[in-house]
Amino acid sequence: MKALVLEGGGGGVRDVTSALHTGWEGAVVAHSRMERQALELCRRLRPDVIVFDAEGSDSQWLGLVREARETSSAAIIVISTEYNESDLIEAVEAGADDYLPAPINRSIFVAKVRAALRRIPTLAPQESSPVSCGELTLDPDRHEAGISGRPLPLTASEFDLLLHLARRNGLVARKEALCSVIWGEDGQVYAANLRKHIEHLRRKLSEVPGSTVSIVTLPKVGYRLIEDDRSNSS
């Protein structure tokens, strides 16, 4: 197992490195300052896991998480002693698989990384075919979305959610299932954030000229993706 730890000035790097070696005997762990040059190292190393030590790096880590997600399928974990709900939401929206408080509990950290690694998609050929709903098209291989030929910019989490809804072909996707799409076995821990993800998706869908696709809420149950119905957007 290969891991890249990006240091932002916090004090949790030693614990992270120790946890990685404990969880994966023979793990290769590289370190770098949290700078844009680190993304080049990420491309060369092709790590299985990227850990961001967000403390002391202001908001720079968010942009780096987004870029890392765009160029890598690695599990992405963010840690910080300044752990708070708003940063958690921003982290997962940027493409992180998890956001943990530092100092870490090593056993929990290893469990979280293992769960994130299990969620890395290994799509079979038939599962990676483009999916459509009306004028909306999602291409899992290219990780691209568009409506009537116009690009639809999505975060990694938003793409996964919309793809899951589109694959349901108008059927309801339960909230528990959608949480699992992003957060895996620990999805219910973050269930309160699902609505914010859905709100962002609705806004982006509505901003594309000619869009006729809507996400409909079934209270206390879940959501479904349909065409030509904007009557329920709560």
Compute the half-sphere exposure of residue 205: CA atoms within 13 Å on the CB side of its CA: 28
Most confident of 32-46, 84-98, 185-199: 84-98
150-151, strands of its sheet edge to edge: 131-133, 136-139, 144-147, 150-151
Which pLDDT band, with edges at 50, 70 and 90, does 128 fall under? Answer: low
CATH of the domain at 27: 3.40.50.2300
Residues 149 and 219 reside in one and the same domain: yes
Ordered DSSP codes for 59-75: THHHHHHHHHHHH--SE
Residues 133 and 107 reside in one and the same domain: no
Does residue 234 have a pLDDT over 50? no
Listed residues 94, 119, 144: the one ending a domain:
119
Q: How many domains does the chain have?
A: 2
CA distances 47 to 40, 73, 177, Å, are: 12, 9, 28
Residues 114 and 166 reside in one and the same domain: no
Most confident of 10-24, 42-56, 83-97, 130-144: 130-144
Does residue 56 have a pLDDT over 60? no
Is 28 part of any domain?
yes
75-80, strands of its sheet edge to edge: 28-33, 2-7, 49-53, 75-80, 98-101
Listed residues 119, 137, 167: the one ending a domain:
119
Is 165 part of any domain?
yes
Residues 90 and 189 reside in one and the same domain: no
Average pLDDT, whole number, for the chain? 81
Residues 115 and 40 reside in one and the same domain: yes
Residues 114 and 6 reside in one and the same domain: yes
Is 232 part of any domain?
no
Is 132 part of any domain?
yes
Residues 10 and 108 reside in one and the same domain: yes
Distance of CA 11 to the CA centre of its chain: 25
Listed residues 84, 119, 154: the one ending a domain:
119
152: which residues sit within 8 A by CB, 6+ positions away? 136, 145, 146, 204, 205, 208
The H or E element containing residue 151 is: strand 150-151
Which pLDDT band, with edges at 50, 70 and 90, does 10 fall under? Answer: low
User: Which of these, 111, 109, 45, 38, lies nearest to 74 by C-alpha position?
Assistant: 45
> CA dihedral defined by 209, 89, 155, 74, rounded to 10 degrees?
-170
Is 233 part of any domain?
no
Residues 203 and 166 reside in one and the same domain: yes
Residues 27 and 11 reside in one and the same domain: yes
Q: Where are the alpha helices (DSSP H) in the chain?
A: 13-23, 37-45, 60-71, 85-94, 106-119, 156-167, 175-183, 194-207
For 172-184, what is each residue's pLDDT tens digit?
888 877 877 776 6
Q: What is the pLDDT of residue 230?
A: 45
CATH of the domain at 151: 1.10.10.10
Structure tokens at 99: 């956001």
Which pLDDT band, with edges at 50, 70 and 90, does 12 fall under? Answer: low
Residues 115 and 139 reside in one and the same domain: no
Is 234 part of any domain?
no
Q: What is the pLDDT of residue 122?
A: 44
Q: Residues 165-194: what's their mean pLDDT?
A: 74
Vertex 189 angle, CA 185 and 191, to 5°? 100
User: Which of these, 26, 83, 20, lies nearest to 51 by C-alpha position?
Assistant: 20
Residues 18 and 58 reside in one and the same domain: yes
**90: containing domain:** 2-119
Q: What is the pLDDT of residue 188?
A: 57
Is 199 part of any domain?
yes
Quote the longest CA-to-CA distance of the chain.
55
